[in-house]
Structure 1
Amino acid sequence: MYKFGEINTYEGVLDLKGVVKEVDVEEMEEALNICDLSTLSQKYKTWIKHMPRVKPYYAVKCNDDALIVKELADLGAGFDCASKNEIKLALEAGAKSEDIIFANPCKPPSHLQYAKEKNIMASTVDTEFEIYKIFEHYPESNLVIRFRCEAKVAQCPLGDKFGCNAEEDAAALMLLAKSLGLSVIGTSFHVGSGCSEYPAYNRAIATAKNLFKFGELLGFDMKLLDIGGGFPGADDNKFAAIAEIVNMSLNKYFPDEKVEIIAEPGRFFVASAYTLVCKIHAKREVRAGKKVDVKMYYINDGVYGSFNCVLYDHQEVTVEHFLEEDDNLKKFKTLIWGPTCDSLDKIIEDAYLPNLSCGDLIAFPNMGAYTVPIASPFNGFMVPKTLYFKAI
């Protein structure tokens, strides 16, 4: 019998249907996350294969499950942390202080103090106010200037909130740091989460090179380039295409191996590690005359739970059923709702599924990114349980 709270092992390929049958998900009130930790090592190998010079610093906010963080720490990843609790989590997982970057450009003073206590040296900034704050609370830290250089197409653009103007503000921030006796060690950028305009990386890396030159003129030891995140989590071919552009750009603008290159992947590592299994607890058929036009299913998780990624991360989720495949199996236009009483709680409205019944199970793959940390028990519906697996 599989156990919750422990890492269950398997040989060969994880049998999703077998797990669902043995756990008896149909009898569970909450949905079930099936987490395959083995996919993390596979993704890490893929990363090293395609971008061997770039060290991944996992974006903890993407999925802060302690077992996920521990697995990535064991693999040798660094960590992009945005708060003292994320720093604490990474350290408890075994990460070294030098393998953590405090990458939130807007840090509460108490969190800066905690970073100082734990000797977290690298800190991202993008305004003069943040530089003055660091000067007051942690002047020994090393500054990384974050500039704005967004992709034209991204799931979650970040430039409206973070990143200074590279041409007008970045140099001024370096001059301010110099006047205060602070240390600038490099630059960072983020083209946007879920980037689909790959040349954005080239533009950003070229801009970073110019800022490095200015920093060196001021006497700074410019030695760190952070290329941010935005890497796809469920399409390794897209990742390979991005990596090709990144590698070419790094070879052109940063051929000196003394410059450390890091990135902040989140979804790349964890999206494909989770499959969410949900139960249909209610059903409705919408008819046009005597013909069923749309079938609606109401399930035990929704946009206030795991499917917050639909709202927060603009994710387009996909659904699978557990019926035996049959070419003659008729499929209907399907709309899937979450369990709450809010009409916003809509998960999918353009799926095609066979006729399902109350009590049937459906599965959603690639549900590991921006789901677990944000899920809430709104309206009294429980967040999913998680079963962990690892290949032996």
Structure 2
Amino acid sequence: LQEDIGFNMKILDIGGVCSNMLFQIKNAVMAMVELYFPPSSGVSLIAEPGSYFVSSAFTLAVNIISRENSLPLSTDDPSPNDEPAFKYYLSEGVYGPFAGKLAETLITAPSVHKITTLDAPVFCSTLWGPSGDDMDQIVEHCLLPELNVGDWLLFTNAGAYSLGQPVCTEPHDSLTPPVFYVISVITAEVGRSYFKVLLS
């Protein structure tokens, strides 16, 4: 194909994707690469999987700063097509750690950092950033138990692009969230054993 248009390409950079897209597009991308750039073409293939490797390094914790009831509460099991029963405003939005949403990056539904029973009812919810801007919608629809101001939500796989320079709308919005480093007991023990062997 490339020779047909007089271009002698040596390197093909297929770019990078985030972790929740990698396996969805891998087969489609590789099928096209094998079709148009077989080994006989002499084209070297490179990728930029940085976001894939770093995304799981961080979990973003945000708290609810305000909420609105959109519909009367019901204990019926809601479906994803229902209108949101709750509209939650979070401490961070698309002008900060969720800036990837402006580039149409999928923001997955969060987990709730709160003890709830397994049979607790869930409600269709929509999540918004603190700006009040129509663009500051983080998650359009997700199922969550009823939450209150001050409750925390956790977004996993937030390592890619969530700590970059915020898209500021006001000078006081320019602060990035604090970072707290944590390690599991198991990982700490493995690391301690490794360094004991290394230093002995």
Same-fold call, TM cutoff 0.5: yes
How many pairs were matched up? 169
* Residue equivalent to 1:274: 58
- The 3 A distance-change label for structure 1 pair 282 and 199 is closer
Segments of 5+ residues of structure 1 without an aligned counterpart are 1-164, 175-185, 213-223, 229-263
Normalising by structure 1, we get a TM-score of 0.39
Contact 1:301 1:383 in 2 (8 A): no
Match of 2:12 among 188, 191, 205: 188
8 Å CA contact 2:66, 2:89 repeated in 1: yes
Q: CA offset at residue 387 of structure 1?
A: 1.8
Task: After TM superposition, give the deviation of residue 270 of structure 1 in Å.
Answer: 0.8
**Secondary structure at 1:172 match in 2:** coil
Q: Which amino acid aligns with 2:39?
A: K
Aligned to 1:226: 45
C-alpha contact (below 8 Å) 1:285/1:294 kept by paired residues: yes
The answer to whether the 8 A contact 1:277-1:363 is kept is yes
SS of residue matched to 1:385? coil
**SS of aligned partner of 1:301:** coil
Hey, what does 2:30 align to over in structure 1?
201
Q: 1:267 to 1:167 in 2, by over 3 A?
A: same
Distance 1:300 1:199 in 2: 38
TM-score normalised over the length of structure 2: 0.71
1:202-233 deviations in Å (ceiling 9; x for gaps) = 43145153432xxxxxxxxxxx82332xxxxx
Q: Report the equivalent of 1:326.
A: 117
Q: Report how far residue 301 of structure 1 moved.
A: 0.5
Letter in 2 for 1:227: I
Contact 1:189 1:226 in 2 (8 A): yes
Counterparts of 2:118 and 2:59, CA distance in 1 = 25
The whole-number CA distance in structure 2 between the counterparts of 1:370 and 1:385 is 15
- 1:388 aligns with 181
Q: Is the CA contact (8 Å cut-off) linking 1:187 and 1:208 kept in structure 2?
A: no
Q: Say which of 317, 336, 358 aligns to 2:108.
A: 317
Helix, strand or coil at the partner of 2:61: strand
Q: How does 1:75-224 map to 2 (within 5 A)?
A: 166-169=2-5, 171-173=6-8, 186-190=10-14, 193=17, 194-195=21-22, 196-197=24-25, 198-205=27-34, 207=37, 209-212=39-42
The Cα of 1:313 is off from its aligned counterpart by 4.8
Matches within 5 A, 1:358-369: 358-369=149-160
1:209–1:375 distance in 2 versus 1, CA, 3 Å: same
Q: Give the 3 Å change call, closer, same or farther, for CA 355–172 of structure 1 in structure 2.
A: closer
Which letter does structure 1 place at the counterpart of 2:45?
D
Whole-Å Cα distance in 2 between the matches of residues 343 and 281 of structure 1?
Answer: 17
CA distance in 2, matches of 1:342, 1:366: 25
Asked if the contact 1:313/1:370 (under 8 Å) is kept, the reply is: no
Specify every segment of 5 or more residues in structure 2 that has no aligned partner in the other structure, as ranges.
76-83, 192-200
Change in CA separation of 1:343 and 1:191 when aligned onto 2, cut-off 3 Å? same
- 1:283 is matched with which residue? 67
Aligned-partner residue type, residue 13 of structure 2: F
Q: Which SS does the other structure have where 2:70 is aligned?
A: strand
Higher CA-based Rg: 1
The whole-number CA distance in structure 2 between the counterparts of 1:311 and 1:358 is 26
- 1:90-126 CA-to-partner distances (Å, cap 9, x unmatched) read xxxxxxxxxxxxxxxxxxxxxxxxxxxxxxxxxxxxx
More helix by share: 1
**C-alpha contact 1:376 1:383 (8 A) present in aligned 2:** no
- CA apart distance, 1:374: 4.6
Tell me which residue corresponds to 1:300.
91
Matched, 1:370 2:158: no
Shift of 1:312: 1.6
